[in-house]
Structure 1
């Protein structure tokens, strides 16, 4: 799981625009709940994602790392193309999951990828960086879209909700913004993907703020099975996760702020 975050702004008031811009640029659906992503569209996104990572990796002096990740995307693209010939609903879902598993594995690696994508997506809503954000739609956009787009199949499990945890290093100013949002009772949104853990003890090791987050199980993906760090019990919240602040208290015992967030649809 990434190190504690230290963003310029902790959340958005509105839904983020980056993935919408990706959907327009590549002419793919805006919402996984309303539309299917066609096989041809997924293949194009895999190809563009591989190309985009190489382009961005070169700029950062991480060409070999980027080329390795691109090869992983090309491999799963080839498997996807082959399996299209098995045209059943079951195989269609399996193909989609294979793509997601590869993307999730790449995202959870200790590399430039998760750092750059999240730093970029947290700029959403800041007009000063709008041009930079839009310039990355062709390169980082396809990968971010594939990571976001996992076919929603509700788990056959007793739990429909889940509590996850995340620590962050926040300035006094940003903590105050959360407190004000809590007092006003308004919704807020995380614009980027948010790494959390099922394990409170793992999360609490870092930062001066502990987020305790109640989510619908469909709003996050447990990636521990395909992560480089399975012991972290990582759950990735979807980009655009919208929440309400239930409480915001300082815990003198742990010397941390404890912020209880709740999925706005619960």
Structure 2
């Protein structure tokens, strides 16, 4: 929503902008509810001071676990179940195939975003996101990819719906990154059990956001994941530093690709911070342990 508002005010020089739940009158600096014009509140445009840093977005960097009994999945190597299913559904066989069919795929993505936006009452957001894709649909795969990353970093309905769906997968009923979490006692016990087991390998099936900034990641939650890729040459293929493309570069966001596997090394309790620290190491299917 912030991107829509800022574009309307700064770029398009509009006197007002309509969002899904409200509209803003720039001249009178007031926000008005779309369903009840008597619900109004004053607004003020404030430019963020990037020098001051700030908190991470809690909902993004500390998602509530979707699967009740676990926050991880069994080892499936580098299979990306959700993405593989998508590729199969549109008969996409290879990267070269994607290059040839990128226009078609972007069009399918636009239709899907509009549909999901309508379902959750976010049609204005969906229309704006689709407009961003429309601008790059005839450009290179790199341009389209960068646009998709930018869209993913926005505070919108899209990344929440995407990761919600991906985290439901498997539900039957020298570089470190950090992610906070609010885990139940049962979930913490599950990590401890797996760490002591003969095969402590597991996987994340959703896109998972972490930060290079440990201090920011420690601001919330009762657990902290420390993802270690210190000795891995393939770090960049496993994780993506998307801070340069993000709407919020100060979050220093590292995006873990879906289907990436890791080894649960150990679980410790930090009494000074009152948090469980869960140490993970990125692995590949070729790793013996």
- Same fold per superposition (TM over 0.5): yes
Equivalent position to 1:76, from 136, 152, 174: 136
* Structure-2 residue corresponding to 1:13: 74
Q: 1:23 aligns with which of 71, 80, 87?
A: 87
Unaligned runs of 5+ in 2: 1-56, 230-234
Residue 122 in structure 1 maps to residue 182 in structure 2? no
Contact 2:241/2:254 (<8 A) preserved: yes
Q: CA deviation at 1:4?
A: 1.4
Q: Distance in 2 between matches of 1:59 and 1:40?
A: 31
Bigger radius of gyration among the two: 2
- Structure 1 position 28, deviation (Å): 1.2
Q: Counterpart in 1 of 2:277? A: 258
Alignment partners' CA distance in 2, 1:262 and 1:173: 22
Residue 230 of structure 2 corresponds to residue 200 of structure 1: no
Q: Which of 183, 198, 206 lines up with 1:170 in the alignment?
A: 183
Q: Which structure shows the bigger proportion of residues in helix conformation? A: 1
Identify the range of structure 1 (249-258 vs 176-185) with the bigger mean alpha-carbon deviation.
Answer: 176-185
Structure 1 unmatched runs, 5+: 81-94, 129-160
- Root-mean-square deviation (CA, aligned residues, Å) is 1.6
* The 10-residue stretch of structure 1 (181-190 or 14-23) with the greater mean CA deviation from structure 2: 14-23
1:39 deviates by 2.1
Q: Matched residue of 1:225: which SS?
A: coil
Match in the other structure for 1:154:
none
For residues 105 and 111 of structure 1, what CA distance do their matches in structure 2 show?
A: 11
Instruction: Supply the distance in 2 between the matched residues of 1:183 and 1:106 (Cα, whole angstroms).
Output: 39
Are the structure 2 counterparts of residues 217 and 112 from structure 1 closer, same or farther at C-alpha, using a change threshold of 3 Å?
same
Superposition pairs for residues 57-206 of structure 1, below 5 Å? 57-78=117-138, 80=139, 95-128=140-173, 162-184=175-197, 185-206=199-220
Contact 1:3 1:206 in 2 (8 A): no
Question: Which structure 2 residues correspond to residues 21-60 of structure 1 after superposition, within 5 A?
Answer: 21-29=85-93, 35-60=95-120
